[in-house]
């Protein structure tokens, strides 16, 4: 610290005339502190694995957001004309040699080939599958995190009966087997909305609900534990001494301190939901009426196709593995960056 600042610190002098200081002046900016999150961000940018993973995740996000534009750029679309134009019905429905691999050379008309039997363009389906996958996972993560954080905050801070009731619900939802519940819910929802006009939207919506409903408990438990520890810290008591309302204590005092666990739980929830979405689609209870990586895998996972046309299975599989892996590694790196105790 400079000699200038040593003066008032050691003196304890009293003056009723404060120096006016413009908060936007250059001097104020120079001495403004770094928040713990900014320090973590700086650390993250020095982590090579984190940077690579972030680039991969960014690539998938761009693919998802601009799926339509990229498809147009390559001149492919979800719409397929007559399937017989693309596939050879006599050869197990595999693509014709002019459509690229496996029977012909690479063609820019269909950079990733076409699907067997239906002749759908693989690139367009891959891009839109990425969009659906990321959208469902993101929305479900956001919903589950918000529910989890609020339940955890309330249970941890209020304690007593509220804590007991909320903890009971957390435990109850944890005991319900996820797959069984999802498998039960799917036919009910299908039956209920099968004749609806926007069946595809409802299906996605219900999938988000199912994922969020069984995903919030981990966050809630994590947050509850953190709040239990934070609640006894003196700054919370100081907030109460100054008469701060409970809602403000929760969201202005406690929530900023929970940024690290929330970011970590989000970064781990996101990849697990991506994988779950694909898994459910494969089981036929996720997105069945539309485009999805899981649906593509389901279609591709036959011995004939895998023997004759393995690229068809690898494409969505690679997408899922790359996305989930990089999201997980990124989440790990974020956790390391946020934890002041790790030094690498």
Partner 1 sequence: MTQDPNARAEIEPTEVGANAAETGERQLRQPDADHDVTNDHELLPEDLDFATLVEHGHTASELDPDAPAVLTVDNLKMYFPVRSSGLVRRTIGHVQAVDGISFEVPKGGSLGLVGESGCGKSTTGRLITRLYKPTGGSMMFEGNDLAKLSNKEMKPLRRDVQMIFQDPYTSLNPRHTVGTIVGAPLEVHKIVPKDKVLPRVQELLEIVGLNPEHYNRYPNEFSGGQRQRIGIARALTLNPKVLVADEPVSALDVSIQAQVVNLLQDIQSEFDVAFLFIAHDLAIVRHFCPEIAVMYLGKIVEIGDRETIYGKPHHPYTQALLSAVPDVKQAAVGGRRERIRLEGDVPSPINPPSGCRFRTRCQFAQEICAKVEPPLLQIGKRHKVACHFAGELGAHPATPVTTQLLGVDDQGSPVPGATPTNTQLTIPGYEKTWYDLTTKQTTGA
- Judged by the rule CB under 8 A, the positions of this chain that interact with partner 1 are 3-21, 23, 27-28, 31-36, 233-235, 237-245, 248, 253, 256-257, 259
CA 67 to chain centre: 18
Smallest distance, partner 1 to C-beta of residue 46, A: 20
Q: Are 243 and 216 in contact (CB under 8 A)?
A: no
Instruction: List the structure tokens of 24.
Output: 């936007």
Alpha carbon dihedral 258, 259, 261, 266, in 10-degree steps, equals: 130
Nearer to partner 1, 29 or 48 (CB): 29
Cα distance between residue 272 and residue 218, in whole Å: 12
Nearer to partner 1, 253 or 308 (CB): 253
Nearer to partner 1, 8 or 177 (CB): 8
Smallest distance, partner 1 to C-beta of residue 259, A: 7
Of residues 338, 340, 294, 334, the one with CA closest to residue 317: 294
List beta partners, residue 88.
94
List beta partners, residue 121.
114
CA 241 to chain centre: 39
Dihedral sign, Cα of residue 46, residue 50, residue 52, residue 56: negative
Nearer to partner 1, 161 or 175 (CB): 161
Smallest distance, partner 1 to C-beta of residue 39, A: 9
Nearer to partner 1, 73 or 242 (CB): 242
User: E-assigned strands of the chain?
Assistant: 87-88, 94-95
Residue 143, Cβ neighbours under 10 Å: how many?
A: 17
Smallest distance, partner 1 to C-beta of residue 231, A: 12
CA atoms within 13 A on the CB side of 278: 24
Nearer to partner 1, 48 or 343 (CB): 343
Nearer to partner 1, 5 or 98 (CB): 5
Smallest distance, partner 1 to C-beta of residue 175, A: 20
Q: Are 179 and 212 in contact (CB under 8 A)?
A: no
Nearer to partner 1, 40 or 139 (CB): 40
Smallest distance, partner 1 to C-beta of residue 174, A: 21
Q: Are 99 and 110 in contact (CB under 8 A)?
A: yes
Cα distance between residue 117 and residue 82, in whole Å: 11
Smallest distance, partner 1 to C-beta of residue 15, A: 6
Smallest distance, partner 1 to C-beta of residue 269, A: 23
CA 328 to chain centre: 10
Burial of residue 185 (CB within 10 Å: 0-12, 13-18, 19+) is middle
Of residues 316, 341, 260, 332, the one with CA closest to residue 131: 316
Cα distance between residue 96 and residue 334, in whole Å: 47
Nearer to partner 1, 26 or 175 (CB): 26
């Amino acid at each position: 610290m400079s000699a200038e600042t040593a003066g008032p610190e050691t003196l304890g002098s009293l003056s009723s005339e404060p120096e006016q200081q413009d908060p936007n002046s250059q001097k104020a900016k120079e001495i403004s502190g770094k928040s713990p999150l900014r320090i973590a961000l700086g650390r993250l940018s020095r982590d090579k694995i984190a940077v690579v993973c972030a680039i991969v995740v960014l690539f998938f996000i761009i693919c998802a957001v601009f799926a339509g534009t990229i498809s147009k750029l390559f001149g492919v679309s979800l719409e397929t004309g007559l399937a017989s134009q693309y596939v050879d019905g006599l050869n197990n429905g595999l693509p014709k040699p002019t459509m690229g691999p496996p029977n012909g050379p690479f063609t820019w008309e269909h950079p990733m080939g076409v699907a067997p039997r239906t002749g759908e363009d693989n690139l367009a389906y891959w891009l839109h599958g990425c969009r659906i996958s990321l959208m469902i996972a993101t929305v479900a993560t956001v919903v589950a995190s918000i529910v989890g954080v609020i339940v955890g905050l309330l249970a941890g801070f209020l304690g007593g009966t509220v804590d007991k009731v909320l903890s009971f619900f957390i435990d109850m939802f944890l005991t319900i087997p996820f797959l069984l519940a999802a498998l039960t819910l799917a036919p009910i929802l299908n039956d209920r909305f099968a004749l609806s006009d926007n069946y595809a939207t409802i299906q996605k919506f219900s999938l988000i609900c199912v994922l969020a409903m069984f995903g919030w408990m981990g966050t809630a438990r994590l947050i509850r534990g953190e709040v239990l520890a934070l609640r006894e810290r003196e700054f919370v008591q100081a907030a109460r001494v100054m008469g701060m309302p409970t809602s403000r204590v929760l969201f202005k005092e406690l929530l900023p301190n929970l940024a690290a666990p929330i970011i970590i739980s989000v970064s781990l929830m996101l990849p697990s939901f991506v994988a779950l979405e694909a898994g459910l689609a494969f089981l036929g209870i996720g997105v069945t009426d539309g485009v999805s990586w899981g649906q593509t895998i389901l279609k591709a996972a036959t011995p004939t196709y895998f023997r004759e046309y393995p690229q068809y299975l690898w494409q969505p599989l690679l997408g899922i593995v790359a996305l989930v892996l990089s999201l997980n590694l990124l989440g790990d790196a974020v956790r390391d960056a946020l934890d002041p105790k790790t030094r690498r």
